[in-house]
Chains A and B, each alone.
Chain A
């Protein structure tokens, strides 16, 4: 087993089976708490005892966070059990902590580490009712005096606001217009006058019902001057950099939710008999299950690419993180919708023997938060579109060093330590992954000519031909982008389509690179490349031509693989993890 997955394997053992009703993390326990809108406190305590919160803190500050690949994998195990726990215990604190941990003074770092070690959450106080995530219109004001910052105003829809040990607050610190009028403040509740903080009552939500989402009103809340993260006026820049870390990691965690959904749907399809046969044999049903598995594989490739890129091409994360957050949640939301059709009434009815599949209702309610929270797809698309012309027309960008893509995609390559100072809010026209397209052509030829692995069905030739199609689509995009508006208010379907096409090309290249660099390292199923051919077709139907018969046989083989993974209780991720 690859070293970075050993801890996830152990975590799965510690958390136990979800089907075991006596288990703290059983479907029944999780669902029952959710339906009462109660946060899973006991489960959170268990995670604290296991030391999971230490993964919010980098190793050099006394924590356990070393690789974002390992980090995502661990949190996927939580999300596949309960997104409420994943957000309430996990991601909220991580999102709030990253800006201070990577851009704050030593004092702020010390305070954040102490809060987390004391088993307290930290809240992300950005959102305002009137402005949503339109940060440049934030109204909460931080008046800078000679020895303190005094905060006034209200932040709403803030997870854990009332119970957290600290708040990372985005606020206006100057009345001047422009992006330098904002700062980021770490409000440590231990050293501020708590009577100046008023909390809003719990806000009811459709999904993640147990999360303690509320709001906070600051009434001249005083924070010392050294609470400013980075420096005065740097709030937006720090935010845009810190969010690259969280946008690159959250979507990969959410794959756990869809893993559970596919597992449950497969179990249902394999047991439900209609018209004299198992519904698993119905064409629509098995095609949907295969599609869902392929969606997970694609999302997994994107997530791995993004997590490892944070370490290797940190300076290019502006576009890569936006692309990850744009692509995965949208794809997996559709996957869940498609799976729900198979379950039919079973995902709707709550009583009787249908109880077995009731968890699916929760998954359907919870998943949208992954897409909606922390920049929706339009926000992410606008980040990409603003840089797209430069990315496509940058003549000085050329593929220079194959060791860079190898480090990103080869899972047994040791990752360099993450260096947040390299984060930039622009890619400066570079995308090392897409720049490797021509080199990838050479790599595929080498695999084919040297018979590095014994492949059936001309997988190499199919993949090779897709590279030409991807290259053509990028060429087309180069000319299309010239006529697209960059202004968010004018963002139209044509602009959206340009972003889609660019992402598709990037995702397809990532899947191919992932396959090429991990042959003979993961499993015979992985090497065979069937998943890759189906993935390329799923990413963009024009990328690959597959004969009907071959497609049928590939789908059948994939279904057999799904059946094996369900029976053996192994994750659907490309790097398999054994469940209990």
Chain B
């Protein structure tokens, strides 16, 4: 699995953009501390969001990620540590191989 470094800001911005597009709102209308459910994103669509995350960051996430990290802020914190872990893992594997 190819990985790369994503800062917390990049992850947060991407989530805001993705969710704003999903619910047809402007980015500046999105409150990163508000539960996604407040924007009409129900549990099924939150599962769809996990697919977008997997594709964007090339990581495997639990489809319930938006249930367990219900705000953009919480989700971006979690994704930051997850992508970081993935990157460290990739570097270690690369070093071991070379």
Contact = CB atoms under 8 A, between A and B. Distances in A.
B23 A177 contact: no
B55 A429 contact: yes
Contact of B45 (A240, A386, A424, A428): A386
A389 B24 CA distance: 17
A390 B24 contact: no
Given A393-B55, A487-B22, A487-B40, A178 B70 contact: yes
B43 interface: yes
A393 B70 CA distance: 26
Interface string B20-54: 00111000000000010110111111111011101
Contacts of A318: 47
B17 to A, nearest CB: 15
A343 interface: no
Contacts of A488: 42, 44-45
Interface in A134-192: 135-136, 177-180
Contact of A428 (B22, B60, B66): B60
Contacts of B35: 177-178
A426 B45 contact: no
Contacts of A393: 55
Contact of A136 (B42, B50, B63): B42
A236 interface: yes
Interface in A468-510: 485-490
Interface string A206-228: 00000000000000000000000
Nearest to A322: B44
A31 to B, nearest CB: 40
A489 B40 CA distance: 8
A469 to B, nearest CB: 27
Given A178-B35, A428-B54, A382 B44 contact: yes
A485 B38 CA distance: 17
Interface string B50-76: 111011000010011011101000000
A425 interface: yes
A281 B47 CA distance: 52
A557 B66 CA distance: 54
Interface in B72-86: none
Q: For B23, B38, B51, B52, which residue has the most chain A Cβ atoms within 10 angstroms?
A: B51
A390 B54 contact: yes
B54 to A, nearest CB: 7
A54 interface: no
Contacts of B64: 179, 237, 425
Interface hub of A135, A389, A428, A487 (most chain B Cβ within 10 A): A487
Contacts of A66: none
Contacts of B42: 136, 488
A389 B49 CA distance: 10
Q: Would you list the 8 A-B pairs with minimal beta carbon distance, nearest first?
A: A390-B51, A386-B48, A426-B63, A179-B67, A179-B43, A425-B63, A178-B70, A386-B45
Given A136-B43, A425-B63, 12 more contacts: A135-B43, A177-B35, A179-B46, A179-B66, A237-B67, A386-B47, A386-B51, A390-B54, A426-B63, A429-B51, A485-B22, A489-B40
Interface of B: 22-24, 35, 37-38, 40-48, 50-52, 54-55, 60, 63-64, 66-68, 70
29 contacts: A135-B43, A136-B42, A177-B35, A179-B46, A179-B67, A180-B67, A180-B68, A236-B43, A236-B67, A237-B67, A318-B47, A382-B44, A382-B45, A386-B45, A386-B51, A387-B47, A387-B51, A389-B51, A390-B48, A390-B54, A424-B63, A426-B47, A428-B51, A428-B60, A428-B63, A487-B40, A487-B41, A488-B42, A488-B45
Interface of A: 135-136, 177-180, 236-237, 240, 318, 382-383, 385-387, 389-390, 393-394, 424-426, 428-429, 485-490
